[in-house]
Amino acid sequence: MGTGPCGPSIRSSATSIVSWCFPRMGAVSQHAGGSQARVASTRVRQERRAGHGPVTMRATARPGRQRGGMRLTRAALILTTATLAALLTGCSGADGADGGAATPTVTETVTAPPSDAASASTPTRTPTPTPTPTCGPSSGAEAAADGIAALPLPAGLEDAKWDAANADYSGYDACAPLSWSVVAPEFGTAGSPYAILLFHEGRYLGTATAQQYAFEPTVERQSDSAVTVTYRFAKAGEPNAAPSGLTTATFTWNDETGRVEMTGDTPPAQ
């Protein structure tokens, strides 16, 4: 139910008009009846004054007067009905206008700003491949060939030569940080000097010591970067065939300095 121009106020006005009109129509009817009664009473009195006998009173209204009352009642009813219909029509039109009015739709387009993550270019990172060890020749004889050829001979053996063909290459590793080979002169004896050649990733570094010591050494690996050498030597008065002296030295590759470091002892000078 609307509260605008045709809200409760107009409906109450229509009700008031109806309640006002119908009591008036009742009053009109009463007025018409009263008029008829007065006419009949007047006729009775006139006949009595004229000396007539008992007079029978007829309470019959005049046709014209009765029709006039009915016309008035009918006119009031038509007027009331027309007024009520006009009010209700106006209210219905107003309510329909209020209820049928379409609410305008507002369309708003919002463009989202580009995010920082999308606008900022992310550099493509190429994974750094894991470096593979640099390896030397797969053959120990090949790796040691140039080193053996350039190796000087000990004093007193200048006419000899290093026996590369019979050298021990079992300790060589083409990819290890530190590996070794052992070589002796051709036609050597038990007391002949032996040279220990060292390699880093298959690359010849040089001999373990500047001086080559007599008697065949024993070389053992401690780690990929370290080896231990056990030297034998003949004590004073001992024959070369049965030396009893022993000493040990460890050789370790140092990545920071790029050199081999020695700890321990070598045989005493003879």
Task: List, in order, residues 6 or more apart from 154 with CB less than 8 Å away.
Answer: 185, 193, 212
Boundary of a domain, candidates 63, 95, 127: 95
In whole angstroms, give the CA distance from residue 234 to residue 210: 20
**pLDDT digits over 81-106, tens only?**
666 655 555 544 444 444 445 555 55
Boundary of a domain, candidates 64, 95, 126: 95
Structural domain contains residue 105: no
DSSP letters, 177-206, are SSEEEEE-BTT--TTSEEEEEEEETTEEEE
Shortest CA distance to 59 belongs to which of 78, 34, 76? 34
Structural domain contains residue 251: yes
DSSP letters, 86-123, are HHHHHHHHHHHHHHHPPPPPPP---PPPPPHHHHSPPP
Question: What's the start-to-end Cα distance of the chain, in Å?
Answer: 130
What is the average pLDDT value for the chain, to the nearest integer?
Answer: 73
Shared-domain flag, residues 77 and 157: no
DSSP letters, 24-89, are HHHHHHHHHHHHHHHHHHHHHHHHHHTT-----------HHHHHHHHHHHHHHHHHHHHHHHHHHH
Shortest CA distance to 136 belongs to which of 146, 149, 128? 146
**235 three-class SS:** coil
In whole angstroms, give the CA distance from residue 184 to residue 167: 7
Whether 2 has a pLDDT exceeding 50, the answer reads no
Structural domain contains residue 187: yes
Mean pLDDT of 1-9: 47
pLDDT at site 64: 47
**pLDDT digits over 14-39, tens only?**
445 444 444 444 443 444 445 444 54
Residue 215 structural domain: 140-264
Contact call for residues 221 and 199 (beta carbons, < 8 A): no
Number of domains in the chain: 2
Structural domain contains residue 71: yes
Contact call for residues 172 and 143 (beta carbons, < 8 A): yes
